[in-house]
Amino acid sequence: MELAQRVQQLPPYLFARISEMIAEKRAAGVDVISLGIGDPDVPTPSYLIEVLKAAADKPANHRYPESDGLPELRQAIARWYQTRHGVTLDPNKEVVPLIGSKEGIGHLPLCLINPGDVSLITDPGYPVYEIGTMFAGGETVKLPLREEDGWLPRLDEIPADVARRAKILWLNYPNNPTGAVCDRAFFEQAVAWAKANDVVIAHDLAYADVVYDGYAPTSILEVPGAIDVTIEFNSLSKAFNMTGWRVGMAVGNATVINALTRVKTNLDSGIPQAIQEMAIAALDDPRDTMAVHNAIYERRRDRVVEVLRELGLRLDPPKASLYVWARLPEGQRSSAEFAAGLIDATGVVVTPGMSYGQAGEGYIRISLTVPDDRLEEALKRLSAYARGEKVL
């Protein structure tokens, strides 16, 4: 049996040895604590669960949903964008609900990429941008992100021959994994570049509502004319702790939204309608949900920053996202080796920066989505390790 080339080309799991070490530690009875996964530990707000329960009793919601979502959900998404970002959207042409933003991100290249076309992807970055491009038969050109540039790509350094072949420019601010944010001026530069080179911007806004220190999120669609060349992905996963319910959205250019909707119509049957009703309730009545969650994450962020500095890591506290991104101590070069050393000495798992691309080497990522007691235990171990004490 020979598998398709697209499956054979999937990159190997970069941290096989770390996974082996985790299994070995657990087999030896070590309490391993993972700070690697960005999946909110706080439950979905109870008032939204009550909406879901009531919606589950409706026979109409027991049938196939539509791929393009309930009109009421598309309208709620448009209202959300108007309220949060001052962006006006046509819910019938410029909005499509998604089974989580990851689904739309993976499918978008099928709409725009032909074999030999190029996706411009930031490095470090979310791996699905590259995988979706590969599945569509396209090529990836990586734009390195540098700490000295505030983790923003240098668009003016993209070679002309690459720009001519490019169909998509992937952006993600607030950024995963670095936690970086960008100002409106950068979005204006990106829109101007995309228009000059006939490239679609795909902006991933999944972390817009996980913010700290008074930071206000920005949608690239706030830039005048951005909708001419932009599709933006967003999600209820982080804002409302709804990762398990799989509700996201794509908004923006009507032609691209139509193409993505056509792909979805042929590949899936949409979000279950009871979950759509819960999503409508969240968007129309967010209450103080985000403020409460963000206060928890901000407190955790401050503790993580404190302990990482004890370990000799260098970092700026992030203004947004669920992650702390930190540079390794002087003399450390391999993020995988550093992470393996922490597992071996403390039983604490962090994500090596290399998992997000070559430019992520020399850094680690820590997630803030760990229950307080488990996070505090992990930080106590790391602090003791920093002092030279034996932990395990």
pLDDT at 16: 60
Range with lowest mean pLDDT among 30-34, 291-295, 330-334: 330-334
- Residue 58 pLDDT grade (very low, low, confident, very high; cuts 50, 70, 90): very high
Percent of the chain at pLDDT > 70 equals 98
Read off the pLDDT of residues 152-205 as tens digits, 9 standing for 90 and up: 999 999 999 999 999 999 999 999 999 999 999 999 999 999 999 999 999 999
CB of 189 closer than 8 Å to CB of 225: no
> Is 54 within the bounds of a domain?
no
Using the 3D structure, point to which of 284, 300, 316 is the last residue of a domain.
Answer: 284
Q: What's the whole-model pTM score?
A: 0.95
pLDDT at 15: 56
pLDDT at 24: 86
Continuous H helices in the chain? 5-8, 16-27, 46-56, 71-85, 101-112, 127-135, 160-165, 184-197, 254-267, 273-284, 289-310, 335-346, 372-386
* Tokens matching residue 154: 């240098």
Q: Can you give the CATH number for the domain in which 163 is found?
A: 3.40.640.10
Please check whether residues 278 and 296 belong to one and the same domain.
Answer: no
CA dihedral 125, 322, 22, 390 (to 10 degrees): 120
Average pLDDT over residues 281-310: 97
User: By C-alpha distance, which of 205, 202, 212 is closest to 234?
Assistant: 205
Read off the pLDDT of residues 206-254 as tens digits, 9 standing for 90 and up: 999 999 999 998 999 999 999 999 999 999 999 999 999 999 999 999 9
Amino acid at 216: A
DSSP state, 241? T
Please check whether residues 78 and 180 belong to one and the same domain.
Answer: yes
pLDDT at 70: 96
Read off the pLDDT of residues 93-133 as tens digits, 9 standing for 90 and up: 999 999 999 999 999 999 999 999 999 999 999 999 999 99
> Is 389 within the bounds of a domain?
no
Of residues 6 and 361, more confidence is placed in 361
Q: How far apart are CA 85 and CA 211, in angstroms?
A: 15
Percent of the chain at pLDDT > 90 equals 90
Torsional class of 270: left (φ above 0), alpha (ψ -120 to 50), beta (otherwise): left
Please check whether residues 175 and 197 belong to one and the same domain.
Answer: yes
Please check whether residues 365 and 274 belong to one and the same domain.
Answer: no
pLDDT at 243: 95
Q: How far apart are CA 95 and CA 78, in angstroms?
A: 7
Strands 95-98, 248-252: pairing kind = antiparallel
> Is 109 within the bounds of a domain?
yes
Please check whether residues 17 and 87 belong to one and the same domain.
Answer: no
Q: Can you give the CATH number for the domain in which 13 is found?
A: 3.90.1150.10
Average pLDDT over residues 59-84: 96
Q: How far apart are CA 141 and CA 78, in angstroms?
A: 33
Residue found under tokens 């008032």: 47
Which residues are bridge partners to 170 per DSSP?
Answer: 202
Task: Provide CB contacts within 8 A for 156, sequence distance 6+.
Answer: 193
pLDDT at 282 over 70: yes
* Tokens matching residue 18: 């770390």
pLDDT at 23: 86
pLDDT at 17: 62
Read off the pLDDT of residues 11-53 as tens digits, 9 standing for 90 and up: 765 556 667 778 888 998 999 999 988 889 999 999 999 999 9
Average pLDDT over residues 344-367: 95
Burial of 196 (0-12, 13-18, 19+ CB in 10 A): exposed
Using the 3D structure, point to which of 235, 255, 284 is the last residue of a domain.
Answer: 284
Q: How far apart are CA 341 and CA 345, in angstroms?
A: 6
> Is 192 within the bounds of a domain?
yes
Average pLDDT over residues 139-162: 97
Question: Mean pLDDT over all residues of the chain?
Answer: 95
Please check whether residues 272 and 293 belong to one and the same domain.
Answer: no
* Tokens matching residue 364: 């680690």
Please check whether residues 163 and 189 belong to one and the same domain.
Answer: yes
Please check whether residues 149 and 89 belong to one and the same domain.
Answer: yes
Using the 3D structure, point to which of 215, 250, 284 is the last residue of a domain.
Answer: 284
pLDDT at 22: 82
Please check whether residues 330 and 362 belong to one and the same domain.
Answer: yes
> Is 52 within the bounds of a domain?
no
> Is 392 within the bounds of a domain?
no
User: By C-alpha distance, which of 252, 244, 170 is closest to 204?
Assistant: 170
CB of 241 closer than 8 Å to CB of 40: yes
Please check whether residues 213 and 345 belong to one and the same domain.
Answer: no
> Is 55 within the bounds of a domain?
no
Domain with 378, as residue range(s), is 5-43+289-384
Q: How far apart are CA 328 and CA 353, in angstroms?
A: 10
Report the number of distinct structural domains present in the chain: 2
> Is 335 within the bounds of a domain?
yes
Please check whether residues 12 and 152 belong to one and the same domain.
Answer: no
Please check whether residues 274 and 313 belong to one and the same domain.
Answer: no
Burial string for 90-114 (b: 16+ CB within 10 Å, else e) reads ebeebbbbbbbbbbbbbbbbbbbbe
